[in-house]
Chain A
């Protein structure tokens, strides 16, 4: 379970992010017509991640090939949407996105740790506990990195380009 959520998911997101780097400039600017300030893209990312944090969804993909295909597709698309939206988003939209995602990860982690029963049929309780702790650790680490970014902005940000 921990490997599924904390390793495979981020790797698929990363793959989507790297694929989107190859999107030609023309397509990128076309995408921006429906992705003003990265809002639509980040909303998609949030929705996809919310869905794949649900234990039932994790269980189902292990027995349903179609759903597993959708998992790969949606997470890769979310990674791509993240890449296409991150720069145009600017600090406020990014902050709002992270301000939603990081607490949500903390709450999901707490749920996995504190739930009195096994949430997934396919994974054991200790795996669930490990995943919850991992989600908590990931959310805390993400918060620290985000806070650090306020102190060390990139050159472009300092120029106010993406702010």
Chain B
């Protein structure tokens, strides 16, 4: 099979469309779960704490997994422009993914597992009778299966990148740094970084999952809780970070088509991605600043790298996006608007993270709603619009579509509702409302009730955007 440099493999498009369709539907479902949880906290819906925590677990792991699948769709689609990917691996990933999802959902909704998506040790094995060992094992086994599929996906990406570029060093642009020639495309650099960090993260995830499965059935063999937490966060934090690094490829590849200005790779861009590759692996300790037993140097590293980790790639992507739009006579449509919105969401989402990454702030804010405020800005206004923009672009077959009244209304409804929704988390955090509580005090109810209103706006607008985009994706497939 020849390497396709100028066109996207139509074969790859089949699997990409399936990824995109599943991502769209599941994102919508996860949004509904979010709405239900906020309505429960606002005492609008009479849902018990057991079901709330099951929904919270499903919402968390579901969003991480689907952001991963949606990001994979973007990465696979555009990576296929430059390297020779074999479609079978994308299908194998999907098969493992779906099998894993069955186990995870079975563990949660049939077995009652509700230890949050982070499955922090020793909670899965100490349920106080809320769920059984087998439910916890189904959940962790399911996550393990999803990881196996993802490992195959990234190994195939690695193979294809090395086949085309010779080594990761060249694919990261290090030769270009030395001699100023043969700069790899932005997609290759981003794809290589994601491949490296996720292979490492998945293997570490496999280690801690197997350790916890052993502990589940042989409790005498205990795990050092701090080691377990470090391994879980190294795995989970890297993986969720990587979703936006995969999805941002949509900005690099699609936006130039609207502005007429190609996304050129400069040395600063290469430096930024290489720095991110290292820092994203070392930034997770900012989630453990409240763990007094953690070595002090890791706390210090967590704070410093929180400040520096997101800046290189984000700053360059943001300034380059604005630079490409400025006086470019960009042809706005829903795709372009969603992609530009995503850069805003990504940038804005980093700010509360950096604030929370400061040790003195973290000790007060980390267990409040402030943290969901950060990751909802980051995901709901950053990663999700990138994926939705990509799905919309696929549905319009890569052509700039019109920007009608309905599109504009849904875009603004989505953007404003999502921003207000995330803001309600941040305001709740500022008011010291704890996170992960199913039942709220009467003084806190109005925060959740108002947030529910904004959540409804997000669900409604996202539903219309997704349903219309999926209609465009499914129709050509049916005709063909």
Contact = CB atoms under 8 A, between A and B. Distances in A.
Interface string A137-152: 0000001000100111
A36 to B, nearest CB: 15
Nearest to A91: B159
Nearest to B84: A160
Interface stretch (B128-136, B178-186, B218-226): B218-226
B169 A90 contact: no
B319 interface: no
Interface in B80-138: 89
A116 B221 contact: yes
Contact of A150 (B163, B168, B207, B221): B168
Nearest to A117: B220
B151 to A, nearest CB: 5
A116 B223 CA distance: 11
B210 A114 contact: no
B47 interface: no
B152 interface: yes
Interface in B180-214: 196, 199-200, 202-203, 206-207, 210-211, 214
B158 interface: yes
Nearest to A93: B155
Given A143-B203, A163-B163, A114 B168 contact: no
A114 B210 CA distance: 14
Contacts of B416: none
A111 B169 contact: no
B207 A92 contact: no
Contacts of B152: 92, 96
B363 interface: no
A96 B155 contact: yes
Contacts of B211: 107, 110
A40 B435 CA distance: 50
Nearest to B202: A99
B166 A153 contact: yes
A102 B221 CA distance: 20
Given A92-B155, A99-B203, A150-B196, A111 B221 contact: yes
A158 interface: yes
Nearest to A143: B203
A135 interface: no
Contact of B162 (A102, A110, A150): A150
A95 interface: yes
Contacts of A99: 151, 155, 199, 202-203, 206
A158 B158 CA distance: 12
Contacts of A95: 151, 155, 158-159, 199
Interface size class of B (residues with CB under 8 A): 20 to 34
A106 B206 CA distance: 10
B167 interface: yes
B166 A107 contact: no
A92 B159 contact: yes
Contacts of A152: 167, 169
Given A115-B221, A116-B221, A91 B203 contact: no
A107 B207 contact: yes
Contacts of B166: 153, 158
B159 A114 contact: no
A158 B168 CA distance: 11
Nearest to B210: A107
Nearest to B220: A116
A157 B159 CA distance: 9
Interface string A82-95: 00000000111001
Nearest to A113: B224
Contact of A158 (B167, B206, B207): B167
A10 interface: no
B333 interface: no
B356 interface: no
Interface string A6-47: 000000000000000000000000000000000000000000
A103 B162 contact: no
B159 A103 contact: no
A163 B162 contact: yes
Interface string B161-173: 0110011110000
Given A115-B221, A143-B200, A163-B159, 18 more contacts: A90-B159, A92-B152, A92-B155, A92-B156, A92-B159, A96-B152, A99-B199, A103-B203, A103-B206, A107-B207, A110-B211, A114-B222, A114-B224, A116-B222, A143-B203, A150-B162, A150-B168, A151-B168
25 contacts: A90-B159, A91-B162, A92-B156, A92-B159, A95-B151, A99-B206, A106-B207, A107-B211, A107-B214, A110-B207, A110-B223, A114-B224, A116-B222, A147-B196, A150-B158, A150-B167, A150-B196, A151-B167, A152-B167, A153-B162, A158-B162, A158-B167, A160-B163, A163-B162, A163-B163
Question: What are the nearest 3 A-B pairs in CB distance?
Answer: A95-B155, A91-B159, A158-B166
